[in-house]
Amino acid sequence: MLTIPPRVRSQREVDAKDEEARDLSRKAEQMKRLCEKLQRDDTKRSETKLRRLQTDQESLKDGISLVSADTSRKRSEVQAEERAISDRGELFRSIDDNIEYKRGQAEVARVRAEAAERRGALESLGDGEALASELKARRDAHEEATRKVQYLRGSRKTLEQKIRERREELGGREFRDIQNLHRAESAALKTKKQAVGDIDAYVKALRKALISFHNRKMQNINKTIKELWQKTYRNSDIDYIRVRYEEGTGRSGHNYRVQMVSGGTELDMRGRCSAGQRVLASIIIRLALAETFCIDCGILALDEPTTNLDEENARSLALMLQQIIRDRSQQRNFQLIVITHDEKFAQMIGRRTFCEHYWYVHKDENQHSKILRQEVLE
């Protein structure tokens, strides 16, 4: 079933009314001409008929007015319908524009993402100079590989020639008994390998034993150093010192460094201690080494041990040396040699309990060296 749109239907009605109005206008014109004709022919006789015709004319005019009003109303309806259609067209165009805008936004986002991806790919490739350098390096590597291939092909031909020559030699009289010779040499080689393995095992065991001996001795040395330091050093900034050792690589043996411990913190003494602390540490380490490795050594020599030491630490060192003299008093060959310019220190070491005299070296007025025996004061 075909449906006529309201606009078309209204337009058709307007056209029909226009046609009806034109028809009425034609009829009115005909009536007017007829009236004029009748008036010319017989005015008197036609007055009644003229009035009737005029009445009809008035009626026709009223009908024309009604048709005109209806036509105007229909035209208004048609215009309103046209405006509604125009508004709906604008709405449809706006919807289409929004849909197209959304599509454009999606396309812009896709293009931006693709541009960012390609930009990242370009950045990862680096600049042109880097790519050119890499291309040149690849070409150089390719040329180098080509040269190596050619060289290896030549080497292969040379080796194939040598293989043929060796096979010809193996077929000669000189190598007829080569299997027995090879078997004997293999047995000798295996024997040597076993011997070398035994020697390696012995060396490893010896090295392990030496390391264990070294570690025990270092523990003893650090224990002695700690005791001597705590007996000698009178300040409170360093609790004790120790020798830190680390096993080196290859033939480098061990690496040693002197550390000071203060409040549980270990620090290297190099660059952190005074000259007096370094001198005292050097003396104590040497005494600990002598105590550990030189039990039967009867001579202990110290040259200027009080250099850079303050009076309190020098006195502590003298008391420590007295303790060493006391501990070695039963050793028949023990001798303590101290070379010093500090006569007070020499007196503190001596005392009557440990020795009765010491030797004083000086120069006379003729600059001749003299040695005098000095008695130790009480």
Return the bridge partners of 246, or none: 255
Q: Are 333 and 300 in contact (CB under 8 A)?
A: no
- Angle 266-272-277 (CA atoms, 0-180°, nearest 5)? 95
What value does the mean pLDDT take over residues 107-131? 76
Give the chain's mean pLDDT.
79
**DSSP letters for 75-114:** HHHHHHHHHHHHHHHHHHHHHHHHHHHHHHHHHHHHHHHH
Residue 205 scores a pLDDT above 80: yes
> Please, which residues have CB within 8 angstroms of residue 378's CB and are 6 or more apart in sequence?
351, 352
Residue 378 scores a pLDDT above 60: no
pLDDT (tens digit, 9 = 90+) per residue, 135-158? 788 888 888 888 888 888 888 888
pLDDT (tens digit, 9 = 90+) per residue, 158-170? 888 888 887 777 7
What value does the mean pLDDT take over residues 319-348? 75
> Please, which residues have CB within 8 angstroms of residue 266's CB and are 6 or more apart in sequence?
242, 244, 259, 260
Residue 2 scores a pLDDT above 60: no
pLDDT (tens digit, 9 = 90+) per residue, 341-359? 887 877 777 665 566 677 7
Roughly how many angstroms between the first and final C-alpha of the chain, as a whole number? 148
Would you call 247 helix, strand, or coil by DSSP? strand
Closest listed residue to residue 229, CA positions, set 189, 272, 280: 280
pLDDT (tens digit, 9 = 90+) per residue, 231-272? 777 778 888 888 887 776 655 567 888 888 888 888 888 888
The predicted pLDDT at position 43 comes to 62
What value does the mean pLDDT take over residues 70-78? 79
